[in-house]
A and B are shown apart, each in its own frame.
Chain A
């Protein structure tokens, strides 16, 4: 079975540019999570969706970040304009439903470098 699929795997761009990260959750999973991982701050939850609806975006650092989930099989995380401090690894994860006992399964991540 396919796991969580993220694209691109690597992204290098100049500050000020728009960046779009993409995620396809595991088929049948109703919850989707976007995380950012850095050495300094570890793994931070940015936003999560249940049944395509954003539930909690309190982790989104500022208005430059936005996320959408137009259908059950696709989500995007957009940064506009990007800044060097946005450089990190961005993970998408999905779980079967929004219940706390359901484990989350991670994609391979997008390594983002903003020059």
Chain B
């Protein structure tokens, strides 16, 4: 059974701080990695994708991938209260995505 593991949280950070969200996966053959943000009562929204080792930056978001360690992370710089949501890590299994159960992030003023 292929798995994607995330700490459920909540992860609480003060406004302006860096939030670090982590994800590990079991399938060494996975090639595509995604981060989704899900606000309470809403649908998952794609915020980042990463396919090769290293860092990928998009505005305040940075995704980091280490395939050797089977580890992918999401950094949110200058965290805002509006970033408070559940962040889902998704990893491909062939043409399908396996989702982690998500980490709940709380950014307090």
Interface residues of A (CB under 8 A from B): 31, 33, 42-43, 45, 48, 50, 55-56, 91, 98-101, 103-109
In B1-47, the 8 Å CB interface with A consists of 31-32, 34, 42-46
Interface residues of B (CB under 8 A from A): 31-32, 34, 42-46, 49, 51, 88, 92, 94-102
Do residues B95 and A99 form an inter-chain contact, with CB atoms below 8 A? yes
Say how far A105's CB is from chain B's closest CB, in angstroms.
Answer: 7
Count of A-B contacts judged by CB separation below 8 Å: 46
Do residues B44 and A43 form an inter-chain contact, with CB atoms below 8 A? yes
Q: How far is the CA of A86 from the CA of B7 in the complex (A)?
A: 26
Do residues A45 and B44 form an inter-chain contact, with CB atoms below 8 A? no
Select which of A42, A48, A107, A109 is within 8 A of B99 by beta carbon: A42
Say how far A95's CB is from chain B's closest CB, in angstroms.
Answer: 9
Say how far A26's CB is from chain B's closest CB, in angstroms.
Answer: 12
Select which of A42, A100, A108 is within 8 A of B95 by beta carbon: A100
Chain B neighbourhood of A109, CB < 8 A: 43
Select which of B43, B96, B100 is within 8 A of A48 by beta carbon: B96
Q: Which residue of B lies closest to A108 (CB)?
A: B43
Chain B neighbourhood of A108, CB < 8 A: 42-43
Closest 6 CB pairs between A and B? A100-B92, A42-B101, A106-B43, A43-B99, A98-B95, A100-B32
Q: How far is the CA of A29 from the CA of B76 in the complex (A)?
A: 30
Chain B neighbourhood of A43, CB < 8 A: 44, 88, 99
Q: Which residue of A lies closest to B8 (CB)?
A: A42
Do residues A45 and B96 form an inter-chain contact, with CB atoms below 8 A? yes
Do residues A42 and B45 form an inter-chain contact, with CB atoms below 8 A? no
Residue among B32, B43, B88, B99 with max Cβ neighbours from chain A (10 Å)? B43
Q: How far is the CA of A100 from the CA of B98 in the complex (A)?
A: 11
Chain A neighbourhood of B46, CB < 8 A: 103-105
Known contacts A91-B43, A91-B44, A100-B94; is A42 also within 8 Å of B31 by CB? Answer: no
